[in-house]
Amino acid sequence: MAELATYIVQGLRSPFARIDRELASYDALQLSVPVLQQTVVGDRGLGRGRDGEIDLMIWGSVIPNLSVSNWGREVWLDAKLDPAVPALTIVQQCASSLAAATHAAAQTRAGQIDLAVCGGVESMSCMQIGLTQGLSQTVRRAASSGGPGAFMRTLAAVRPRDLRVSVPQAKERTTGKTMGQHTEEMVRRWNVSREEQDRFALASHLRAVAAGKKGVYRRLLVSPGTFPASDDPIPRSDTSLDRLAALRPAFGAGGSLTAGNSSPLTDGAAACWVASAAGLDRFHAVPPHARLLDWEQAAVEIAVDGLLMAPAIAIPRLLARHDLGYADIDLWEIHEAFAGQVLSTIRALENREWLRERAGIDRDLGAFPQDRVNPNGGSVALGHPFAATGARLLSQTVLELAEMPSGSRAVISICAAGGLGHVALLESV
Q: Digits of tens for pLDDT over the chain (429 positions)? A: 567 899 999 999 999 999 999 999 999 999 999 999 999 998 777 775 567 799 999 999 999 888 899 999 999 999 999 999 999 999 999 999 999 999 999 999 999 999 999 999 999 999 988 877 877 787 777 777 777 777 777 767 777 777 777 777 778 999 999 999 999 999 999 999 999 999 999 999 999 999 999 999 999 999 988 777 778 999 999 999 999 999 999 999 999 999 999 999 999 999 999 999 999 999 988 889 999 999 999 999 999 999 999 999 999 999 999 999 999 999 999 999 999 999 999 999 999 999 999 999 999 999 999 999 999 999 999 999 999 999 999 999 999 999 999 999 999 999 999 999 999 999 999
Question: Quick check: 318 and 294 in contact, CB under 8 A?
Answer: yes
Would 209 be classed as within a structural domain? yes
- What pLDDT is attached to residue 45? 74
What type of residue sits at position 191? N
- What pLDDT is attached to residue 158? 75
Question: Quick check: 404 and 428 in contact, CB under 8 A?
Answer: yes
353 sits in which H/E element: helix 352-357
How many other C-beta atoms lie within 10 A of the C-beta of residue 149?
Answer: 9
Given the residues 272, 289, 415, 422, select the one marked as catalytic. Answer: 415
Virtual CA dihedral for 122, 126, 132, 134, nearest 10 degrees? -100
Query: How far apart are alpha carbons 187 and 201 in whole angstroms?
Result: 15
Q: Is 126 a catalytic residue?
A: no
Using alpha carbons only, give the angle 373, 377, 381 rounded to the nearest 5 degrees.
130
Domain hosting 188: range is: 179-216+293-428
Query: How far apart are alpha carbons 44 and 36 in whole angstroms?
Result: 12
pTM value is: 0.94
- What pLDDT is attached to residue 46? 78
Given the residues 182, 205, 384, 422, select the one marked as catalytic. Answer: 384
How many angstroms separate the most distant Cα atoms in the chain? 76
Given the residues 94, 118, 126, 272, select the one marked as catalytic. Answer: 94
Would 343 be classed as within a structural domain? yes
Would 239 be classed as within a structural domain? no
The structural domain count of the chain equals 1
CATH number at residue 198: 3.40.47.10
Query: How far apart are alpha carbons 341 and 414 in whole angstroms?
Result: 11
**Cα dist from 350 to 193, 235, 285, 320, 333, whole Å:** 17, 30, 42, 14, 17
- What pLDDT is attached to residue 164? 74
Question: Quick check: 339 and 419 in contact, CB under 8 A?
Answer: no
Question: Quick check: 163 and 136 in contact, CB under 8 A?
Answer: no
Would 392 be classed as within a structural domain? yes
Would 63 be classed as within a structural domain? no
Give the sign of the dihedral formed by CA 394, CA 62, CA 337, CA 312.
Answer: negative
How many other C-beta atoms lie within 10 A of the C-beta of residue 385?
Answer: 35
Would 376 be classed as within a structural domain? yes
Query: How far apart are alpha carbons 324 and 327 in whole angstroms?
Result: 8
Query: How far apart are alpha carbons 170 and 265 in whole angstroms?
Result: 10
Question: Quick check: 358 and 204 in contact, CB under 8 A?
Answer: no
Would 73 be classed as within a structural domain? no
Virtual CA dihedral for 4, 283, 288, 95, nearest 10 degrees? -60
Give the sign of the dihedral formed by CA 108, CA 111, CA 112, CA 116.
Answer: positive
Q: Is 384 a catalytic residue?
A: yes
DSSP secondary structure letter of residue 336: -
Q: Is 94 a catalytic residue?
A: yes
- What pLDDT is attached to residue 204? 98
Nearest to 262 by CA among 175, 371, 335: 335
Give the sign of the dihedral formed by CA 318, CA 389, CA 52, CA 84.
Answer: positive
Would 200 be classed as within a structural domain? yes
Virtual CA dihedral for 201, 118, 414, 5, nearest 10 degrees? -120
Query: How far apart are alpha carbons 195 and 292 in whole angstroms?
Result: 36
